[in-house]
Amino acid sequence: MYRILSDKQHKYLIMLRKQGKSIPEISRETGTPITTVQRHIKGVQVPDEFQSTLREKQGGSKDRAKALRENIVSKVGKLLGKISHRDYLFLLIGLYWGEGTKKDFTVINSDPFLIQTFIHCLKTLNIPNDRLSISLRVHAEISVPKAKEFWSRTTGLPKELIERVEVIEGKKKGKLPHGMCRIRVRSGIRDRLLIQTAIALIGKECSKRIVSQ
């Protein structure tokens, strides 16, 4: 539930905003959460004499945020280093463990990067693309031809491999603009059992380490 301010507090936030204060500054000065400040100053016009100062503050925040992102990207790149064949195998195990179905060797998700990563990781088991099939799950307002085109381009697999499109009633276009893609490995019993065995062994090892602490 959001915080309710008195009329006096509300007017004080507006006054600070009209003085060219940024939202973080108002939040720090008044001890008011940023989301509450945003709600109470919405639509308040900052006088021309303070506009340039406010823009500089906002620009500084954007620059700091950009620098932070660049710093994190650099640190993560060094942390990961070169991703090895073994790393991709563990990624495959994790993806199937979290997103796979238990009856066959299938993963379904709406994230293009996750689907692309799954397909790439399958190469660790020497599974060629011609053993893969695609099916889609889309909401009624999504264009089926466009969804097919998107997932074909994303996966690098021909549209002819899209075996089925399930259309669901409801509105989810904003969150799932291209629907969900299901990648299935044909004749994947042995491969699935290999991954499931790896999951069991990893699970037992982690359980043993936690219990022994």
**Which residues are bridge partners to 137 per DSSP?**
166, 180
10-54 pLDDT per residue, tens: 899 999 988 888 888 899 999 898 889 988 988 888 888 888 777
Return the pLDDT at 82.
93
Report yes or no: 184 and 111 within 8 Å, Cβ to Cβ.
no
pLDDT band at 96 (very low <50, low <70, confident <90, very high): very high
What average pLDDT score do residues 78-104 get?
Answer: 94
Return the pLDDT at 161.
87
Q: Phi and psi for 115 in degrees, rounded to 5?
A: -65, -45
- Cα distances (Å, whole numbers) of residue 197 to 78, 99, 100, 204: 31, 16, 14, 11
HEC readout, the chain = CCCCCCHHHHHHHHHHHHCCCCHHHHHHHHCCCHHHHHHHHCCCCCCHHHHHHHHHHHHHHHHHHHHHHHHHHHHHHHHHCCCCHHHHHHHHHHHHHHHECCCCCEEEECCHHHHHHHHHHHHHHCCCHHHEEEEEEEECCCCHHHHHHHHHHHHCCCHHHEEEEEEECCCCCCCCCCCEEEEEECCCHHHHHHHHHHHHHHHHHHHHHHHCC
60-75 pLDDT per residue, tens: 666 777 787 888 889 9
Return the pLDDT at 169.
83
The identity of residue 122, as a single letter, is L
146-193 pLDDT per residue, tens: 999 999 999 999 998 898 999 988 766 556 789 999 999 999 999 999
Of 4-8, 126-130, 152-156, 201-205, least confident by mean pLDDT is: 4-8
User: What pTM does this model have?
Assistant: 0.69
As a residue count, the chain comes to: 213
